[in-house]
Structure 1
């Protein structure tokens, strides 16, 4: 399985280490090349892109199994609205078999709508990041859930 991690911040590094330890590949999106050493030390492929500019993520979806849009603490706005919708539109005709979202209620509704339209299993993450271990466990459970679900459900 290859995960595309968009967002996630510092807890995303712990998630990456867990996924890599389980034999999975992770592509971790960051806006800043300065974070490359930390991302690569966690075992992920660093991808420079900006979720506010979906075009910069065009090739990030290559050979990805699960899209992790983990923007929980990001201010309510385009990352949970138009940018999220554009990214989900990009999952059509890709290898993406599941979407996990962390964010706002409006964003969760949009994920449910778009994932239903595209017949891609999805999960909504609502675990608080304050307990990093519990958050990572919730993300891993969400990934397992979307991968176990048949498409169209």
Structure 2
């Protein structure tokens, strides 16, 4: 399985370590190349892009199984609205088989709408990042859930 991790911050590094320890590949999106060595030390592949500029993520979905849009700490706005919608539109006719979202209630509703339209299972993460171990465990459980669900079934 290859995950595309958009957001996640420093806890995303712990998630990357957990996924790569289980033999999965992680493509970790960052706006800053200086974060690349930390991503690579965690076992991930650095992808320079900006979720505020969906075009910069054009090739990020190549060979991705699960899209992780983990921007729960980002302010309410386009990242949970129009940018999220545009990104999910790009999952049509790709290898993406599931999506995990962390963000706002409005964003979660948009994920449900778009995931149903795209016929991909999805999960909405509500575990706070303050307990990093619990957050990582929740993301891993969500990934397992969307991968276990039949395509076309929303979770």
* TM-score category of the 2 structures, normalised to the smaller one: over 0.9
Structure 1 portions without partners, runs of 5+: none
Q: Distance in 2 between matches of 1:17 and 1:27?
A: 12
User: Is 1:136 equivalent to 2:136 in the alignment?
Assistant: yes
Name the counterpart of 2:84. 84
Name the counterpart of 2:110. 110
The DSSP-based 3-state class of the residue aligned with 1:134 is: helix
Question: How far does the alpha carbon of each residue in 1:114-151 deviate from its partner, in whole angstroms, 9 at most, with x for none?
Answer: 00011000000000000000000000000000000001
User: Is 1:36 equivalent to 2:36 in the alignment?
Assistant: yes
The DSSP-based 3-state class of the residue aligned with 1:14 is: helix
Give the RMSD, CA atoms, in angstroms. 0.3
* Structural mapping, 1:28-107, within 5 Å: 28-107=28-107
Question: How far does the alpha carbon of each residue in 1:38-86 deviate from its partner, in whole angstroms, 9 at most, with x for none?
Answer: 0000000000000000000000000000000000010000000000000
The DSSP-based 3-state class of the residue aligned with 2:87 is: helix
The DSSP-based 3-state class of the residue aligned with 1:126 is: coil
Name the counterpart of 2:7. 7
Q: Which consecutive segments of 4 or more residues in structure 1 shift more than 3 A?
A: none
Structure 2 portions without partners, runs of 5+: none
TM-score by length of 1: 1.00
Aligned length: 153
Q: Distance in 1 between matches of 2:32 and 2:77?
A: 21
Question: How far does the alpha carbon of each residue in 1:97-120 deviate from its partner, in whole angstroms, 9 at most, with x for none?
Answer: 000000000000000000001100
